[in-house]
Amino acid sequence: MAQYSAALDDVFVALADPTRRGVIRRLGRGPTSVGDLAREFPMTLPSFMKHVRTLESSGLISTLKAGRVRTCVLNRERLAVLDDWLAEQRRVWEDRTDRLESLVTSTEENRP
């Protein structure tokens, strides 16, 4: 459970920044070089590389180097950690709203 929690924390930290979310969105269309990705964002390459390293350390992306070109690839499986957590939260809240609806309905039925 602690390992799951740490993985989830890493993913949330990585996705907390709009630049990193933009990178994930772009990589959803397919792998691309760091240089091409960086051109889409208004910052210096060293600043952009900090975002790439954060995404890479969270496991959301991997990078492959071929010669002088570093290519970023989205790790879609890592997004499953987030999807699992959201599904769990959805179940919890649906159960709560179902119980509330049941309580309200039974209260209305017992009114004179």
Residue spans per domain, the chain: 2-109
DSSP 20-87: HHHHHHHHTT--EEHHHHHHTSSS-HHHHHHHHHHHHHHTSEEEEEETTEEEEEE-GGGHHHHHHHHH
Token pair 């499953």 is found at 80
pLDDT at 2 over 90: no
Nearest alpha-carbon partner for 12 in 52, 50, 59, 47:
59
pLDDT in tens, 60-91: 999 999 999 999 999 999 988 888 888 888 88
Using alpha carbons only, give the angle 60, 64, 69 rounded to the nearest 5 degrees. 125
> Is residue 33 very low, low, confident or very high in pLDDT (cuts 50, 70, 90)?
very high
pLDDT band at 52; cut points 50, 70, 90: very high
Average pLDDT of the chain to the nearest whole number: 88
CATH of domain 2-109: 1.10.10.10
**Looking at residue 35, what is its pLDDT?**
94
Q: Per-residue pLDDT for 27 more than 90? A: yes
Note the pLDDT of residue 90: 85
Comparing 80 with 29, which gets the higher pLDDT? 29
Nearest to 65 by CA among 44, 34, 36: 34
Lowest mean pLDDT among 32-46, 60-74, 90-104: 90-104
